[in-house]
């Protein structure tokens, strides 16, 4: 059947990517690590465009983790300058593409200048509707859960929420990705098979795709391979295969 509705069901509505392998990509070419991060920005731009062209409504990118603060100061500061530079250059492009931007992470840990840029980008693109792009900077999955807990507690304390009414929905509303479609597909490049403290709450039923491609090498055909993997999964959500398989027409 070539029913476009069926075709759409095989596409994820929300993809998250752990963009790993910039350093190794640079090293294998005898270049400094920051050259790898610059090459990573190019890959990021291409993938954002490809995902937007596929009309996938949500994309979350892991750019800098809570743990990445432990890298050498020089690498951290070159990454922060790169974020600022990329923001300055790309926000208007994304805005023209009708992309809404949200930042997730401990933004108070970032420089005042970067915080201001992030807030401006969010404000500028707030009414955009084609795709939502969440950029995880200074982000940790555990941090996210703790922050959500803090907000739930504040609501209970000020009488907005009854403690007995706290359920998964009430909790999810306070997490960083609240309001985005459920996470369908998590991609990690760079060969490691681990989560590295990314979206712990949101990945409960995500399909997990790992590739050895280093992030600067992740192009449209790599994306297509991840989408093909996704399309081949039977998502049972606890039910049996018979319960979820399509009745034969
Ligand atoms: C991912 O690439 C980018 C960030 C974590 C900022 P890495 O910098 O981790 O690259 P590898 O893993 O060292 O190759
Ligand atoms: C995960 O990559 C974080 C990002 C891609 C931003 P890392 O390179 O920091 O993860 P580990 O250290 O291999 O777990
Ligand atoms: Mg890495």
Confidence band of 249 (pLDDT split at 50, 70, 90): low
Give the predicted TM-score (pTM) of the model. Answer: 0.95
Nearest CA to ligand 2 atom 1: 196
From the CA of 92, how far away is ligand 3's center (Å)?
A: 29
Which uninterrupted H or E stretch holds 91? helix 73-96
Domain presence at residue 6: no
The Cα 237–Cα 182 span in angstroms is 13
Dihedral, CA of residue 3, residue 14, residue 219 and residue 9, to nearest 10: -10
Neighbouring residues of the ion ligand 3, judged by CB less than 5 Å: 20
Which uninterrupted H or E stretch holds 169? helix 168-172
CA 10 to chain centre: 19
The Cα 20–Cα 81 span in angstroms is 19
| Ligand 2 atom with minimal separation from the 192 CA | 13
End-to-end CA distance of the chain: 10
| CATH of residue 19 | 3.40.1180.10
The confidence score (pLDDT) of residue 3 equals 41
CA dihedral over 226, 75, 136, 57, signed as positive or negative? negative
From 46, 68, 128, 197, the catalytic residue: 68
Dihedral, CA of residue 224, residue 60, residue 47 and residue 233, to nearest 10: 0
Domain presence at residue 176: no
DSSP secondary structure letters along 171-238? HHTTSTTTTSPPP-EEEE-SS----TT--TTGGGG-EEEE--S-GGG--HHHHHHHHHHHHT----TT
Domain presence at residue 67: yes
Per-residue model confidence as pLDDT tens digits over 56-103: 999 999 999 999 999 999 999 999 999 999 999 999 999 999 999 999
53 in active site: no
Look at the chain and report how many structural domains it folds into: 1
Q: Which domain holds residue 105?
A: 14-140+182-234
197 in active site: no
Domain presence at residue 81: yes
The confidence score (pLDDT) of residue 248 equals 58
Tokens of 149: 């807990």
Backbone angles phi, psi at 104, to 5 degrees: -125, 135
Evaluate if residue 6 carries a pLDDT over 60.
no
Domain presence at residue 94: yes
Per-residue model confidence as pLDDT tens digits over 163-193: 999 999 999 999 999 999 999 999 999 999 9
Instruction: Indicate whether residue 18 lines ligand 2 (CB < 6 A).
Output: yes
Instruction: Indicate whether residue 12 lines ligand 1 (CB < 6 A).
Output: no
The confidence score (pLDDT) of residue 1 equals 35
Domain presence at residue 228: yes
Largest CA distance in the chain: 61
Domain presence at residue 199: yes
Instruction: Indicate whether residue 228 lines ligand 2 (CB < 6 A).
Output: no
Where do we find the tokens 């200048």? 113
Domain presence at residue 112: yes
Residue 115 neighbours by CB distance under 10 Å = 14
Compute the mean pLDDT over every residue in the chain, rounded to the nearest whole number.
Answer: 95
């Amino acid at each position: 059947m070539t029913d476009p509705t069926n075709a759409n069901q095989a596409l994820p509505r929300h993809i998250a990517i752990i963009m790993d392998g910039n350093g190794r990509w640079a090293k294998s070419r005898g270049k400094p690590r920051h050259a790898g991060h610059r090459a990573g920005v190019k890959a990021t731009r291409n993938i954002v465009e490809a995902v937007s062209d596929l009309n996938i409504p949500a994309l979350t990118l892991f750019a800098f983790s809570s743990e990445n603060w432990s890298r050498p100061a020089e690498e951290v500061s070159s990454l922060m300058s790169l974020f600022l530079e990329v923001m300055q250059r790309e926000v208007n492009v994304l805005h023209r593409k009708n992309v809404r931007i949200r930042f997730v992470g401990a933004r108070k840990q970032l420089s005042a200048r970067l915080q201001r840029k992030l807030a401006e980008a969010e404000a500028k693109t707030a009414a955009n509707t084609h795709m939502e792009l969440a950029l995880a900077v200074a982000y940790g999955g555990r941090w996210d859960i703790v922050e959500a807990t803090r907000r739930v507690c504040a609501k209970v304390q000020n009488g907005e929420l009854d403690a007995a009414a706290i359920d998964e929905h009430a909790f999810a509303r306070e997490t960083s990705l609240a309001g985005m479609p459920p996470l369908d597909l998590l991609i990690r490049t760079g060969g490691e098979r681990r989560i590295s403290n990314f979206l712990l709450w949101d990945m409960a039923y995500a399909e997990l795709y790992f590739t050895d491609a280093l992030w600067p090498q992740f192009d449209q055909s790599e994306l297509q391979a991840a989408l093909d993997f996704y399309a081949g999964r039977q998502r049972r959500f606890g039910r049996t295969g018979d319960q979820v398989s399509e009745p034969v027409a």
